[in-house]
């Protein structure tokens, strides 16, 4: 008897090699074992191909299974689902209402004019449709890396970020390293185990529970600069280009992916990386650095992944991301990023070694704070609090304005591509029609005018095209920048939350000392550790302002130059038309 499965949801094939199935449709399977979340089979119309394993339930006297129990059977793939890293999500995340998840992933994308329709419209889009998840790795990875984990992309556990924040659906939330340490401190613990302060390891660190061996190379310095605490500059600055996005295939051409060529200036040798490598790296970084705003990688996209526009757009997003990575004194130097940038694409062994090392890195979360060394003079906590509050207000206002600029630019781009183009081309067309009428008169004194009108008609048609092409040159780059900053702005509530949590602990401990419930030395320790978090937070805020001013200055100049060039191009075109007219 053939192995069969029943479709739980509609799935519409989007790429070669996939087949569509309807809810309740019975499909015949070749094998019950999925290949990285995909099953191969024949649907009721006799079409053979792949479809997402999670979209069907296998009919063999088992209860309906939605998610990763599909892969619970035996086989060569089983190990990867079994080997769940300790740093994975608390399973209680799955109790989050699905609605919230949907509302986050379907937030409007500001970098493309039409809001991309998520496909398929279920709560597991990444598994079914983003081939970046077609993992050729068979070594262990975290649950968050795996398809089919609901809630794998919750951007904000407490819902305390502004709802306008756009989160990459692939965002690995901070807090993967929440330490369930046994408490021995006298300061009360936060009862909310999902609080960022707890999950980031901030609480554990402040309470003195973090411990680890800090190598010299891991030391991260905060120094006092002209404007306050700063990250010590990277003594070996470098940048990294991202070029040649190339479509590659596997599974006998049934599944495809895009690889990019990365060339860091400090090694000058290029490596090939896929989106999923970026995604893996991003996850590591978020896990490791609790008070650093890790730039978001470009969003996943379900459909049209191999269209030139999308590839070009994603590449631009990755370039921006890379720019922010290499600009950051701490992120640029960290081991996992260096591994990503420098490990040869062909040396699989070295790659896996570095990968495992990064995944087993102990200096993440709470322990990260151990690596920070600060100036000797402690900060004034009241001053810190006021600076943090000021920054909080800044991010809120900047986020609002970025949303507004995005909306306006989106609309403006749409108008230029459609309306403006149409209007100028209609002017061109009406001149053309007038010229055609005039051409019925072929007397010698009319010919010059007729030619000139025909040329003017063409000129306006061209001007219409100019308008349609322009947003790509000026509005799109600004929107790309804004998208990256929206990611940063979405990070800051958590970063601020960690610092504020530490500050609260200081106040509590001082109160306990006053009440005689705690020893002064313990309270001093808490205060010192809070001081470290504060230094790091202020350094990060300073870095943010610096790159913000740098980026916006450059981008606004680019925007204006492009606009000037655009209007000059129109002027030139019309001057040609006028010359045409005069020369006759």
The C-alpha atoms of residue 336 and residue 354 are separated, in whole angstroms, by 7
Contact criterion met (CB below 8 Å) for 134 and 146: no
User: Which residues are within 8 A (CB) of 174 and not within 5 positions of it... i.e. 6 or more apart?
Assistant: 196, 199, 200, 286, 287, 290, 491, 494
Candidates 80-88, 175-183, 197-205, 557-565: pick the segment binding a second copy (CB under 8 A): 557-565
Report the nearest approach of a second copy to the CB of residue 438 (Å).
Answer: 7
Three-state secondary structure of 527-539: HHHHHHHHHHHHH
Q: Quick check: 113 binds a second copy (CB under 8 A)?
A: no
Position 181 contacts a second copy (CB under 8 A): no
| Stretch in the footprint of a second copy (CB under 8 A) among 56-64, 125-133, 249-257, 572-580 | 572-580
Which of these ranges, 181-189, 215-223, 503-511, 565-573, lies near a second copy under the rule CB under 8 A?
Answer: 565-573
Does 215 sit near a second copy (CB under 8 A)? no
Backbone angles phi, psi at 70, to 5 degrees: -55, -40
For 205, the 3-state DSSP assignment is helix
Candidates 273, 283, 260; CA nearest to 343 is 273
Q: Give burial (CB, 10 Å; 0-12/13-18/19+) of 10.
A: middle
Interface residue with a second copy among 62, 91, 94, 401 (CB under 8 A) is 401
Rounded Cα gap, residues 134 and 127, in angstroms: 9
Q: Please name which of 165, 158, 197 lies closest in space to residue 179, comparing C-alpha atoms.
A: 197
Q: Pick from 91, 436, 511, 520: which binds a second copy (CB under 8 A)?
A: 436
- Note whether 178 binds a second copy by CB under 8 A: no
Judge whether 428 and 457 are in contact, CB under 8 Å.
yes
Q: What is the CA radius of gyration of the chain?
A: 28
**Tokens in use for 187?**
């300061």
State the angle between helix axes of 520-583 and 444-469 in degrees (0 to 180), rounded to the nearest 10.
170
Does the protein bind a second copy through residue 418 (CB under 8 A)? no
404 contributes a contact to a second copy by CB under 8 A: yes
Q: Which stretch binds a second copy (CB under 8 A): 159-167, 177-185, 495-503, 555-563?
A: 555-563
Q: Is 85 in the site for a second copy (CB under 8 A)?
A: no
CB-wise, 398 or 536, nearer to a second copy?
398
- Of 78, 56, 83, nearest to 67 (Cα)? 56
Return the number of the residue (44 or 436) whose C-beta is nearest a second copy.
436
Strand, helix or coil for residue 219? coil
Would you count residue 31 as binding a second copy (CB under 8 A)?
no
| The one among 82, 376, 440, 521 contacting a second copy by CB under 8 A | 440
Q: Closer to a second copy at the Cβ: 103 or 568?
A: 568
For a second copy, which residue of 70, 402, 496, 538 counts as binding (CB under 8 A)?
Answer: 402
Residue selected from 197, 368, 431, 492 as contacting a second copy according to rule CB under 8 A:
431
Quick one: which of 55, 257, 34, 282 has its CA closest to 153?
A: 282
Residue choice 415, 472, 473, 528 for contact with a second copy (CB under 8 A)? 415
CA angle 303, 131, 4 (to 5 degrees): 100
219 binds a second copy (CB under 8 A): no
For the CB of residue 413, give the shortest distance to a second copy in the complex, in Å: 10
Q: Tell me: does residue 319 bind a second copy (CB under 8 A).
A: no
224 part of the interface to a second copy, by CB under 8 A: no
Minimum distance, C-beta of residue 306 to a second copy, in the bound complex (Å) = 33
H helix intervals, 54-169: 78-82, 98-105, 125-129
Give yes or no for residue 430 binding a second copy (CB under 8 A).
yes
Find the helix or strand (DSSP H, E) in which 179 lies: none
Q: Which stretch binds a second copy (CB under 8 A): 121-129, 142-150, 252-260, 451-459?
A: 451-459
**What is the three-class DSSP state of 416?**
helix
Contact 301, 116 (CB under 8 A): yes
Lateral strand order in the sheet of 220-225 = 228-231, 220-225, 372-373
314 labelled ligand-binding: yes
Q: Which of 44, 37, 35, 47 is nearest to 7 (CA)?
A: 44
Confirm or deny that 80 is annotated as ligand binding.
no
Only one of the segments 101-109, 237-245, 315-323, 418-426 lies at the binding site for a second copy (rule: CB under 8 A); that segment is 418-426
Applying CB under 8 A, among 54, 367, 456, 537 the residue interacting with a second copy is: 456
Query: Strand 255-264's sheet: what is its strand order?
Result: 240-250, 255-264, 271-274
Number of shown-chain residues binding a second copy (CB under 8 A): 62
Q: Which of 55, 45, 30 is nearest to 128 (CA)?
A: 55
The owner of tokens 């074992």 is 33
Instruction: Give the torsion sign (CA, 453, 459, 465, 468).
Output: negative
Helices (H), 131-254: 196-199, 202-206
Q: Does 108 bind a second copy (CB under 8 A)?
A: no
Among 51, 278, 320, 409, binds a second copy (CB under 8 A): 409
Segment contacting a second copy by CB under 8 A, of 100-108, 236-244, 329-337, 400-408:
400-408
Q: How far is the C-alpha of 569 from the C-alpha of 580, rounded, in Å?
A: 17
Looking at 236-244, 245-253, 397-405, 504-512, which segment touches a second copy (CB under 8 A)?
397-405
Of 63-71, 291-299, 353-361, 402-410, the segment contacting a second copy by CB under 8 A is 402-410
Structure tokens at 275: 């989106």
Asked if 420 is part of the footprint of a second copy (rule: CB under 8 A), the reply reads: yes
CB of 571 to a second copy, least distance (A): 4
Residue 392 as a binder of a second copy (CB under 8 A): the answer is no
- Site membership for a second copy, residue 538 (CB under 8 A): no
- Residue 545 in contact with a second copy, rule: CB under 8 A: yes
Residue 142 or 323: which CB sits closer to a second copy?
Answer: 323
Interface residues with a second copy (CB under 8 A) are: 227, 390, 393-394, 397-398, 400-402, 404-405, 407-409, 411-412, 415, 419-420, 423, 426-427, 429-431, 433-434, 436-438, 440-441, 443, 445-446, 448-449, 452-453, 456, 545-546, 548-549, 552-553, 556-557, 560-561, 563-564, 567-568, 570-571, 574-575, 577-578, 581-582
Q: Binding-site residues, please? A: 274, 276, 314
């Amino acid at each position: 008897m053939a192995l069969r499965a029943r479709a739980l949801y509609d799935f519409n094939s989007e790429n070669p090699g996939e087949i569509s199935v309807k809810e309740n449709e019975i499909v015949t399977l070749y094998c019950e074992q999925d290949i990285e979340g995909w099953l191969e089979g024949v649907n009721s119309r006799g079409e053979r191909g792949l479809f997402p394993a999670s979209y069907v339930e296998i009919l063999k006297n088992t209860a309906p299974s939605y998610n990763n129990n599909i892969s619970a059977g035996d086989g060569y793939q089983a190990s990867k689902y079994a080997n769940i890293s300790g740093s994975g999500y608390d399973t209680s995340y799955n109790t989050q209402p699905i609605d919230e998840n949907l509302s986050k992933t379907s937030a409007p994308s500001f970098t493309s004019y039409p809001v991309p329709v998520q496909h398929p419209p279920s709560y597991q889009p990444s598994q079914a449709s983003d081939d970046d998840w077609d993992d050729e790795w068979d070594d262990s990875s975290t649950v968050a890396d795996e398809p089919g984990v609901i809630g794998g992309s919750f951007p904000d556990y407490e819902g305390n970020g502004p709802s306008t924040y756009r989160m990459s659906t692939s965002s690995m939330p901070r807090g993967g390293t929440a330490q369930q340490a046994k408490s021995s401190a006298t300061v009360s613990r936060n009862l909310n185990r999902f609080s960022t302060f707890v999950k980031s390891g901030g609480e554990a660190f402040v309470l003195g529970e973090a411990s680890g061996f800090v190598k010299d190379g891991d030391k991260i310095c905060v120094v006092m600069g002209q404007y306050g605490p700063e990250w010590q500059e990277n003594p070996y600055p470098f940048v990294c280009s991202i070029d040649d996005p190339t479509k590659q295939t596997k599974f006998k051409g049934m599944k495809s992916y895009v690889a990019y060529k990365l060339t860091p200036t400090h090694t000058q040798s290029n490596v090939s990386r896929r989106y999923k490598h970026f995604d893996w790296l991003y996850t590591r970084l978020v896990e490791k650095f609790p008070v650093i705003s890790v730039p978001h990688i470009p969003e996943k996209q379900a459909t049209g992944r191999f269209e030139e526009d999308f590839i070009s757009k994603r590449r631009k997003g990755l370039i921006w991301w890379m720019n922010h990575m290499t600009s950051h004194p701490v992120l640029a130097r960290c081991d996992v990023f260096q591994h990503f940038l420098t490990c040869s694409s062909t040396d699989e062994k070295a790659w896996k070694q570095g990968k495992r090392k990064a995944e087993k890195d102990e200096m993440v979360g709470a322990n990260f704070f151990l690596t920070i060394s600060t100036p000797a003079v402690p900060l004034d906590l009241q001053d810190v609090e006021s600076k943090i509050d000021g920054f909080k207000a800044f991010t809120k206002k900047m986020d609002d304005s970025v949303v507004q600029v995005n909306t306006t630019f989106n609309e403006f781009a749409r108008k230029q591509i459609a309306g403006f183009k149409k209007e100028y081309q209609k002017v061109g067309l009406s001149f053309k029609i007038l010229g055609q009428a005039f051409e019925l008169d072929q007397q010698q004194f009319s010919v010059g005018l007729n030619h000139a009108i025909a040329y003017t008609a063409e000129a306006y048609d061209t001007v219409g095209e100019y308008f349609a092409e322009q947003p790509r040159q000026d509005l799109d780059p600004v929107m790309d920048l804004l998208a990256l900053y929206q990611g940063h702005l979405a990070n800051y509530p958590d970063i601020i939350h960690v610092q504020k949590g530490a500050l609260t602990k200081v106040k509590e401990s001082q109160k306990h000392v006053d009440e005689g419930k705690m020893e002064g030395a313990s309270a001093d320790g808490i205060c010192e550790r809070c001081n470290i978090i504060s230094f790091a937070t202020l350094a990060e805020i300073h870095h943010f302002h610096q790159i913000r001013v740098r980026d916006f200055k450059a981008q606004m100049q680019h925007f204006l130059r492009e606009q000037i060039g655009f209007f000059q191009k129109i002027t030139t075109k019309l001057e040609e038309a006028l010359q045409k007219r005069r020369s006759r």
